[in-house]
Structure 1
Amino acid sequence: MEDEICTLTLKTLRTELASEIANFKAYDVPAICVRIGLSEGSEEEAFQSKHKYAQKRIAAQSADELLKSARLLHAEQGGYALGEVLAKLDDLKGRPITKLTRRRLIKLFDGQPLATEVEQMDFIRSVWPIEDMPVGNGIQYDNLESFLVQHTLRNDDLTQQELMEYLGLLECSTSRLFRFLEAVTSAEYQAVKRQSELAKAIDQLLRHDGYALVKSGTISGSPLFKVRHIPDGSPSDNEISIAIKNFETSQVSPRWQAALESRSSNPERSITLARTLLEDVCKWILHEAGDGWDEADDLPALYKKTAKVLNLAPDDHTEQIFKQILGSCQSVVSALGALRNKLGDAHSIGPKRVRPAARHAELAVNLAGTMSTFLIATWANKNDNT
């Protein structure tokens, strides 16, 4: 199926490249073709038909040669249609945004303008080159801009869904869609409340397709957002998820899932959840074992009590290698507590405090998940042998 899609897209690319070349003056066409890697020809041939001149030379190119020529021309001249075909070919390398998600994104604007801080048409012009875009559906207008002016400013007879479909939200390249989503959540175009609501709703929808809308910076005190790919969960993520879900589903498992999901979008929160996850596991094991804990116990104290119940304290073993490994486990737990205090969201970050990156959250969550799984497995083994 992917090969069929690629073949169709390459066919479209040949058509669009020929059309772009045909937009030039006939006497310029031979030189342009040579410049982008097509074979040489005469001006006389180009004067007979610019389009056929280009088509003949494009047809002789391999897929790689075609892509190179198209990218060269697009870099030099731009052009919406050619750029979109190239972008859609690039999309084949990544995860798609499904049409269902696109429809749900469009529904976020039912009865709502695309921007609250500027005129809607000004916002549209900032994202789409509507003066270079056709209307489609056989509608006879010079370009999409003249159509939208007629039907949104003069007549106002398009619904927001129809407007966004004419803009191509259902079919456009992923990069074009992401550009729209990043712009529509910008403080330049949205009031504070609307920006916050949109960013949250868009992020939730994108996550179903493996992307997230995350804060990437600020402008004049307001957040900026970028769409980021969510890294695929590692095999260990899945194994830990199964172990924790089998252990306890109502509180501990949701905590683990929340920690996983917030690694990229909210590292501070993810780090705090990682520590809380390990605290939960320790408390559950102590409860099941009939042992208690004090409300004031921090993570190292809880782990120490749990390790005693599970015979995991270094002093409980004589083999040096086991003492060393179990001592390292204690160090990991203490480090998790310290990491949460330094980088988590449990305390005010202060003006000079280091902000954690996604990689810090990844480390904290992986450590907490691995330690939790080890404790759960040890507790299960202890029960099986009693």
Structure 2
Amino acid sequence: MSNKITSITRRNIWDGILITGIDPFGRLEEPDFLGRIWDLSGLPSTDNRFRDAYRDIWQHRINNYDWDESWLLSDSRINLLNCDDSIFLQFLCETIHPVIRNDSTEISKLIQHYNDNLFPDGYKIIEKARISDKPIFAGVKREFTEEHLIKKNQEIKKRLSADYVMQQITLMESSIETSPHISIGISKELIETCCKTIFEERKKEYDKNWDLPRLMKETTKLLKLTPNDIPNEVKAASSIRQILGSLSSVVQGIGEIRNEYGSGHGKDGKFVGLQPRHAKLAVGAASTLAIYLLETHEIKD
């Protein structure tokens, strides 16, 4: 089967890693990292002084450091540009494995970078399990129905450029399939962040004790989005009022789902969580609402 992840995508991912300054091999030396994926002791050496690839790589990347950083893209033994998609995805997931790296900021940046580049080729990196409460990631095919969610969240990232928000959106996307409760919890936090950002950018005060429905209500007032703000002469005024009046119901629903099933509260041993489709509903609703609020804020600013 031919690869879906193109050499262009692979090179862009590798170049992006180098640009960030994040060491892809983390805690390990390069040959030890690569040995988690390839059997280096069974691969030949290109240097006749050494009997296998492990010693060869160690000599030229650790001891002498006379190979450039991109040697593994075209080396016939590793061939990161053309190896099977599954191997390439495994390589990416190893760079964010807890054995390799424990810096959550670096992990979030790498996941975001990987998924932004893998998106056109139909793949994504998601959390599949946890070990010692640390996430283990896997590369999977992206569902067609997820495309609109990702595009929405990319729009939000453009408008809310804070590193924290971008990390949260990345986590929200990557947790839908394996940890729906996390995505649900973050979807509520996303709306809260958008509302508070609007208040702050308009230099207006808000009460930190407001719950989500109250915060949303005050935000719509600030943006003049309440049903009473729609004049009668506007076409379809009644329909617009009905939609605007439903915003509070959407927010309240997301808040209640989060309280019952999200990541914000402890659960007993008999707790049964929601399915990924429910997380997609919450994330989709939160993303749509966030974009609407931010676009209105920009237009009326």
For structure 1, which runs of at least 5 residues remain unmatched after alignment?
A: 1-85
1:176 matched to 2:87: yes
Match of 2:128 in 1: 216
Match of 1:274 among 182, 187, 190: 190
Which protein has greater RCO, CA pairs closer than 8 Å, 6+ apart? 2
1:264 matched to 2:180: no
1:206 matched to 2:114: yes
Quick one: structure 1 residues 357 and 214, their matched pair in 2 at CA, closer, same or farther if it must change by over 3 Å? farther
Quick one: structure 1 residues 239 and 158, their matched pair in 2 at CA, closer, same or farther if it must change by over 3 Å? closer
Quick one: structure 1 residues 275 and 348, their matched pair in 2 at CA, closer, same or farther if it must change by over 3 Å? farther
CA contact (8 A) 1:277 1:368 kept: no
TM-score (norm 1): 0.50
Q: Which has the larger radius of gyration?
A: 1
Match of 1:128 among 27, 35, 38: 38
* In 1: Cα distance, 2:27 partner to 2:101 partner: 16
1:90 matched to 2:8: no
SS in 2 for 1:112: coil
Deviation at 1:113, TM superposition (A): 3.1
- What letter is aligned with 1:128? W
CA contact (8 A) 2:127 2:137 kept: yes
Deviation at 1:101, TM superposition (A): 0.9
CA contact (8 A) 1:343 1:356 kept: yes
Deviation at 1:341, TM superposition (A): 2.6
For structure 2, which runs of at least 5 residues remain unmatched after alignment?
A: 177-181
Quick one: structure 1 residues 343 and 97, their matched pair in 2 at CA, closer, same or farther if it must change by over 3 Å? farther
Query: What per-residue deviation string (whole Å, max 9, x for no partner) do you get for residues 112-151 of structure 1?
Result: 3359xxxx49x83x63355775556xx669xxx9423665
Match of 1:298 among 211, 214, 224: 211
CA contact (8 A) 1:314 1:324 kept: no
Match of 2:59 in 1: 157
* In 2: Cα distance, 1:224 partner to 1:352 partner: 24
Quick one: structure 1 residues 98 and 335, their matched pair in 2 at CA, closer, same or farther if it must change by over 3 Å? same
Deviation at 1:258, TM superposition (A): 4.2
Match of 1:312 among 226, 229, 248: 226
Match of 1:283 among 183, 187, 199: 199
* In 2: Cα distance, 1:238 partner to 1:151 partner: 42
1:329 matched to 2:247: yes
* In 2: Cα distance, 1:380 partner to 1:171 partner: 42
Matched residue count: 267
Match of 2:282 in 1: 364
CA contact (8 A) 1:314 1:327 kept: no
Deviation at 1:216, TM superposition (A): 0.8
* In 1: Cα distance, 2:280 partner to 2:88 partner: 28
Deviation at 1:98, TM superposition (A): 1.0
Quick one: structure 1 residues 373 and 110, their matched pair in 2 at CA, closer, same or farther if it must change by over 3 Å? closer
1:147 matched to 2:147: no
Quick one: structure 1 residues 212 and 92, their matched pair in 2 at CA, closer, same or farther if it must change by over 3 Å? closer
C-alpha RMSD of the superposition: 4.9
CA contact (8 A) 1:240 1:370 kept: no
Query: What per-residue deviation string (whole Å, max 9, x for no partner) do you get for residues 72-122 of structure 1?
Result: xxxxxxxxxxxxxx5xx323579721166177499533893359xxxx49x
Deviation at 1:280, TM superposition (A): 1.7
**What percentage of residue pairs aligned between the two structures are identical?**
20
TM-score (norm 2): 0.60
CA contact (8 A) 2:43 2:53 kept: no
Deviation at 1:379, TM superposition (A): 5.9
Quick one: structure 1 residues 180 and 239, their matched pair in 2 at CA, closer, same or farther if it must change by over 3 Å? closer
- What letter is aligned with 1:262? L
Match of 1:79 in 2: none
Match of 2:14 in 1: 101
* In 2: Cα distance, 1:208 partner to 1:340 partner: 27
Quick one: structure 1 residues 257 and 99, their matched pair in 2 at CA, closer, same or farther if it must change by over 3 Å? closer
CA contact (8 A) 1:282 1:302 kept: no
